[in-house]
């Protein structure tokens, strides 16, 4: 793949990196606010579940663990997206690796989520008109994620090939070509 939607892969890498970075920073701020307003989040969660199904301490622990997991994922995504931008600009293919790995994990999770949605729809005999749009939306999201991941992976291979070519074009240096400053000539007094 040499381009995506008519854009060069380096442009795609920078745009995707900035979009992910902005989204992840916004989500990180949102989860920090949720931690600051934990009692309000608890009230919202308690209103959504049936009374008496879980005690308050267990529910609070579950909410805190969930917020911690999402906050960790978002901070990881901030770092990976920043490295994607820097790696694309400086043409360092190894800096693209964290983004590729984290996105691959997200894609794997989304595949499992899609399989679970289809399983639940079949097992509970959910009417097709109720489950069709969520499944179609999840499938389209997965396809878009795969296309973007493939584009960034192609950028990774392109940068790596360019760097390998540059390394081969550089003259091989030997120690004899450089002056040796450690052996100074004897001084005459």
Please report whether residue 14 resides in a domain: yes
**pLDDT reading at 3 higher than 80:** no
Please report whether residue 174 resides in a domain: no
Residue position matching structure tokens 């911690």: 68
pLDDT at 39: 86
76, 27 Cβ separation under 8 angstroms: no
Please report whether residue 187 resides in a domain: no
Please report whether residue 189 resides in a domain: no
> Exposed/middle/buried for 5, CB within 10 Å: 0-12, 13-18, 19+?
exposed
> How far, in Å, CA of 148 to CA of 17, rounded?
11
Please report whether residue 185 resides in a domain: no
Q: Which residue range forms the structural domain that includes residue 142? A: 3-169
pTM for the model stands at: 0.74
42, 63 Cβ separation under 8 angstroms: yes
DSSP assignment of 122-179 equals HHTT--HHHHHHHHHHHHHHHHHHHHHHHHHHHHHHHHHHHHHHHHHHSPPP-GGGS-
Please report whether residue 16 resides in a domain: yes
List pLDDT tens digits, range 36-81.
Answer: 988 888 888 888 877 777 777 888 888 889 889 999 999 999 999 9
The H-or-E segment that residue 114 falls in is: helix 97-123
| Average pLDDT score, the chain | 86
> How far, in Å, CA of 52 to CA of 89, rounded?
55
User: Could you say which DSSP state residue 95 is in?
Assistant: G
For the segment 98-118, the average pLDDT, to the nearest whole number, is 92
pLDDT at 147: 93
Please report whether residue 176 resides in a domain: no
Please report whether residue 128 resides in a domain: yes
The pLDDT confidence band at residue 126, using thresholds 50, 70 and 90, is: confident
Count of domains for the chain? 1
């Amino acid at each position: 793949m040499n381009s995506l939607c008519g854009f060069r892969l380096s442009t795609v890498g920078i745009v995707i990196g900035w979009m992910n970075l902005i989204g992840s920073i916004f989500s990180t701020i949102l989860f920090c606010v949720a931690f600051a307003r934990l009692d309000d989040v608890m009230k919202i969660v308690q209103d959504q579940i049936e009374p008496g199904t879980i005690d308050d301490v267990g529910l609070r622990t579950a909410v805190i663990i969930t917020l911690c997991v999402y906050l960790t994922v978002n901070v990881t995504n901030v770092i990976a997206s920043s490295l994607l931008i820097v790696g694309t600009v400086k043409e360092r293919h190894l800096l693209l690796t964290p983004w590729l790995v984290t996105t691959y994990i997200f894609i794997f999770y989304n595949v499992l989520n899609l399989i679970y949605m289809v399983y639940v729809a079949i097992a509970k005999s959910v009417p097709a008109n109720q489950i069709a749009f969520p499944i179609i939306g999840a499938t389209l999201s997965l396809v878009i994620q795969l296309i973007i991941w493939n584009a960034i992976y192609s950028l990774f291979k392109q940068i790596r090939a360019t760097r390998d070519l540059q390394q081969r074009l550089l003259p091989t240096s030997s120690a004899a070509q450089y002056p040796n400053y450690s052996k100074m000539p004897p001084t005459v007094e």
